[in-house]
Chain A
Amino acid sequence: MLAYISRRLLLSIVVLGGVTVIVSGALLLSGDPVALILSEGLATREQREELRRELGLDKPFVYQYLDFARGAVQGDMGRSLRYNRSVSAIVGERVEPTLQLSGTAMLLAIVVAVPVGILSAARPNTWMDCAGRALAFFGQSVPLFWLGIMLVLVFSVELRWFPSAGRLQANSLVLPAVTLGLLPMARIARVLRASLLEVLGADYCRTAWSKGLSERRVLVQHAVRNALLPVVTIMGLQFGALLGGAVVTETIFAWPGLGFLSVQAIGARDVPLLRGVVTLVAFLSVLTNLAVDVLYAVLDPRIRYA
């Protein structure tokens, strides 16, 4: 178990290192940030050189990257060009809204998907199954930014039930969470249904039926418990995907989280801030994947020896 976890941990570090190298390399391609801050006419050559030194841009790429990596490990990711504040401080403020949004979306997805998946599998090819599958199919096909806009159109513009943007009121969370939750809901419902159908066909479930157990007991105690493994996997994968979906969702609803911040940083050409956001999101997503892997190994002993 310990060997397994340490291998996964090592892999996580490799992934994080790779991502930060890619992002830093991409930033290098973007041209000279100094030219953006101090334009030709406003600053002397000496001032520009000094700023370049201050930002560490006079050094070769490898040194720049190592400087960044050393700082990042200690929680220092440089200064934002636009806000002239520490990147870590700005990024830190945005973590909570993003976690709140994706957490709520995930909860919503599970609360809807689990009953839908179970009902679908328990009554295959009935109208309930059809409705459940149609919902899941729709959820997988509709682009979430369009869904978000449609929800705003109906519930903010027409009905005026929920605010269309921001995070000022308690019910601001509703529309973004529904938008973000639909795709994981669809995926979880599909996987749960398929996995349950497979388990329900297994010998031990037939035995449970023939013992005369009630449907409820067969379903809950025998089938669902054994069908959960693929569901846990997909939940973990979906949580990582939620962080990506949050970029678009937060932008639509002006939700003050990391996703919206990344789009703002791009708009302002704020290179250090963008690098900070991407690094932090990569960190969160790697952490989630690690947690899922460990949970998976705990749930299924076969994994550890594979």
Chain B
Amino acid sequence: MRSRPRRATILWKSLRRDRAAVVGLVIVGLWLAMALFGPLLKGAKPGQQDLGRSLLPPGGSGEASSPGAAAARAWLGTDQLGRDIAARVLQGARTSLLIAFQVVLIAAALGSFVGVFAAEAGGWVDEVLMRLVDIQLGVPAILLAITLLAMIGASIGNLVLVLVLPSWVIFARVVRSEVLRLRELEFVQAARALGARRGRILTRHLLANVTGLIVVIGTLELSSIIIFESALSFLGLGVRPPDVSWGAMLSDGREMLTVAWWPATLPGIAITVTVMGVNLLGDWLRDVLDPRANARRGA
């Protein structure tokens, strides 16, 4: 029968047993909700400067910016330009998550396509594609990324492009080896013996069995892309003002470290909590969707 309803049931059942997964789901869900609906909230705007309210500590309200106006409380404090950190963290969630999801979707699509193509084509095509993968994996991704970004210029579009580069190879490699393995299994051989066409075997038997694995890798890639993106933005080569990102906030906050702890600390907590949430989800998905992962990868 179809595997889809069964998979959903398995996921739901295991979710009720796995507390860590629930925590991960809640964290990721909350961040997504904040990223999507944050701009609808009333209150301070992320880009609004107010030098009279520079470096207010968390919870501080400072003096009213104009006589008569009530001093708004800055729950997470303000940065050196008097911008509200809470509003900026929300805005940063929007930027970072949007970029990360985009990158993972593109990388998964591209990588899976190349992986299946290499496995199906075989021969020199496979050889060339896999050497391309080796080149990508052979050098630290961040070094290639900063070189490329420095040369083609820092913008969100270029950032997505540069982040896709080290990511698609992961999908390509895993999908390729999984397709090669599946192809030799009896049920595929049987389908072939029954005269199923190549395209049908590919979609109904091979791809259908790789999707779980792609979801698992996609989740794990999501957390490393979030970190990667904030590292690049931290170095000033990723998201740049007026766009707000957690990495760039950290870099600003670092300048103020001797005066104020919160501008550097709070965006970092946002990154860490998000990544933890995604990792919890990833661990759970791997346990459920890819039972052989523990044996194959060792962890």
Contacts and interface: CB of A to CB of B under 8 A. Distances in A.
A83 B257 CA distance: 31
Nearest to B132: A18
B139 A149 contact: no
Interface residues of A, number: 57
B147 interface: yes
Contact of A26 (B135, B152, B258, B279): B152
Contact of B134 (A15, A26, A269, A274): A15
Contacts of A282: 138-139, 143
Chain B contact residues: over half helix, strand or loop, or mixed? helix
Given A194-B294, A262-B143, A153 B265 contact: yes
A247 B257 contact: no
B143 A11 contact: no
Contacts, number: 147
A263 interface: yes
B138 A248 contact: no
Interface in A111-163: 137-138, 140-143, 145-146, 149-150, 152-153, 157
A210 B147 CA distance: 58
Contacts of B254: 149, 252
A30 B150 contact: yes
Contact of B138 (A157, A269, A286): A286
A19 B143 CA distance: 11
A57 interface: no
Contact of B299 (A15, A138, A190): A190
Given A150-B265, A241-B140, A15 B135 contact: yes
B139 A19 contact: yes
B8 to A, nearest CB: 27
Interface in B244-281: 247, 250, 253-254, 257-258, 261, 264-265, 267-268, 271-272, 275-276, 279
The 6 closest A-B pairs by CB, nearest first: A244-B140, A146-B268, A18-B135, A230-B298, A15-B138, A30-B151
Interface of B: 131-132, 134-135, 138-144, 146-148, 150-152, 223, 227, 230-231, 234-235, 237, 247, 250, 253-254, 257-258, 261, 264-265, 267-268, 271-272, 275-276, 279, 294-295, 298-299
Given A245-B140, A285-B139, A286-B138, 5 more contacts: A22-B135, A141-B223, A194-B298, A281-B140, A289-B138
Interface of A: 11-12, 14-16, 18-19, 22-23, 26-27, 29-30, 137-138, 140-143, 145-146, 149-150, 152-153, 157, 187, 190-191, 193-195, 198, 230, 233-234, 240-241, 243-245, 247-248, 251-252, 262-263, 266, 269, 274, 277-278, 281-282, 285-286, 289
